[in-house]
Amino acid sequence: MTAVALYLDLLKGVLTDTLYAPEPDPNASDAAFLLQFTSHYVKGRAISMLPRARLDNIQACVFDVVERGVPGDLIETGVWRGGATIFMRGILKALGVTDRSVWVADSFEGLPEPDAERFPREAQAYHSGVMTNVFDRFADTEEAVRRNFEAFGLLDDQVRWLKGWFKDTLPQAPIERLAVMRLDGDFYESTMDALTGLYERLSVGGYVIVDDYGEDDWTYCRRAVDEFRAARDIADPLIQIDRRCFYWRRGG
Ligand SMILES: C[S@@+](CC[C@H](N)C(=O)[O-])C[C@H]1O[C@@H](n2cnc3c(N)ncnc32)[C@H](O)[C@@H]1O
């Protein structure tokens, strides 16, 4: 293994807190997964709630755009404690890339309240006891996320911050081009706002990763993606990473 691969492997282990403990099993039953998810990520020390396979996917996408010279920055919309964006910055650092930024987009106050008439399943999830009392609607502060970047020695001016609701921050964000956009805002509108606010700036050959595309019980994320792709005639194949997460590479 090269030093870059060794560093990135260690980073994935620390960010997901899987050096000494196994990660929650994404193929476990829903009830078992929820218990494991809560104790390992939400109540635990992990800085990202992504399974390792999804960090491997980020790594593959970033390596690919760097190797092929696909222009643009990297963004995650919906960062929680910041782990996936810390990983993106770590990859750029390890590869010696100095001309791309990592954009960190979040309300830093958790999920927005969904419209209960249009999105009943999301509203039910949003108001549920688990989401409110246990997950705290995935809120973390910008200061805490900055501290996490700092802890890894990765807080610098290649990290750019977009604080606020996606519908307000993304359309006018001072981003010229994107090479990788990772959407992890969970809900229909968060996903749609990210696609409509950013997709035009995604380079051909760049990647869109949708964390919750395969998640049907509590979100309409898949509907947002399908509607957006249909409206734009996007036929690039959707590739599955695991039960819930999918991505595509922009072909045209
Ligand atoms: C599931 S968490 C993200 C997990 C993270 N990607 C990781 O690596 O662990 C969802 C995040 O999306 C943010 N979010 C969702 N919808 C949003 C919106 N419309 N505007 C701003 N932030 C949003 C929440 O604040 C939360 O931090």
User: What 3-state DSSP class applies to 160?
Assistant: strand
Round to whole Å and give the CA distance between 103 and 217: 29
Number of domains in the chain: 1
In a domain, 178, yes or no: yes
- Asked if 36 and 44 touch (Cβ cutoff 8 Å), the reply is no
Using N-to-C axis directions, what is the helix angle for 3-15 and 52-68, rounded to 10°? Answer: 140
Q: Is the CB of 138 under 6 A from ligand 1?
A: yes
Average pLDDT over residues 30-40: 91
In a domain, 101, yes or no: yes
- Asked if 46 and 40 touch (Cβ cutoff 8 Å), the reply is yes
User: What spacing in Å lies between the alpha carbon of 2 and ligand 1's midpoint?
Assistant: 33
Q: Which domain holds residue 118?
A: 51-249
Q: pLDDT tens digits for 107-141? A: 999 999 999 999 999 999 999 999 998 899 999 99
CATH code (residue 190): 3.40.50.150
In a domain, 1, yes or no: no
In a domain, 3, yes or no: no
- Residue of the nearest CA to atom 12 in ligand 1? 78
Kindly tell me if the per-residue pLDDT of 49 is higher than 80: yes
Q: Is the CB of 111 under 6 A from ligand 1?
A: yes
pLDDT > 90 in the chain, percent: 92
Q: Is the CB of 78 under 6 A from ligand 1?
A: yes
In a domain, 38, yes or no: no
Kindly tell me if the per-residue pLDDT of 214 is higher than 80: yes
In a domain, 145, yes or no: yes
CB neighbour list of residue 147: distance below 8 Å, 6 or more residues apart: none
- Residue of the nearest CA to atom 24 in ligand 1? 110
Q: Is the CB of 83 under 6 A from ligand 1?
A: yes
pTM of this prediction? 0.97
In a domain, 29, yes or no: no
- Residue of the nearest CA to atom 2 in ligand 1? 80
| Residue 137, pLDDT score | 93
| Residue 90, pLDDT score | 98
In a domain, 8, yes or no: no
Q: pLDDT tens digits for 76-117? A: 999 999 999 999 999 999 999 999 999 999 999 999 999 999
Average pLDDT over residues 146-162: 98
